[in-house]
Structure 1
């Protein structure tokens, strides 16, 4: 009976430990989704960020490319709530850059970002080539027991 109680306690600690990893900003690797359905897949190697970004929206049809996916490159700051910057170069010639920070949300971390989207235009259209906005990304829950 004692052995069974110990097994249950160990299993509970493993599940809580796995769940706790989603509650912290100490590792922002993983899949993140924003309110528009864009999907950010991040890998961290030291202070370098890499991954992919599949946009849920385009400023004009085809501007992000047929797959609407771009390669992410970036840098990561340090600390409990790390800052970061990342960029994507789209097939249509535009680039997007995000600067942000990981914060502890109610149930899991969130990435709060400001972005700049620069479209490739002739010089006379320079005035309208940059858009600015903000995104909040929520970590997509992973099945820890699979």
Structure 2
């Protein structure tokens, strides 16, 4: 008879067969089905102490793993917060630089407008001639562009 080596036998006959009748292994338990083990909740002994120690070791290992995970998560959160702050600072610097450029262009446009009004006030005939010439050039460019698309 073949037995599954991964699961223990369910009764004492199978236990003796799988171990060859040896009484020095955990598989040679001579209890009948339904009897409590000696190291169970009512008994004591070395098996109970070793199980208690194993549970404590597993609990300690689990707590250390949880603590290490929590520490790692806190480190990652701190680094992510740093990256977010750096991104915000970079974006704020970009907005400030763009604002300075826009203000500079607005200032130049206001200056050009003022100079144009002064020129038109002092030289009205030249202003009309320049406006007509500019309109003619713009019309010629638009007409050539429209003919090129056909």
> TM-score, normalised to structure 2's length?
0.23
Higher helix proportion (structure 1 or 2):
2
Structure number with bigger Rg: 2
> TM-score, normalised to structure 1's length?
0.23
Higher strand proportion (structure 1 or 2):
1
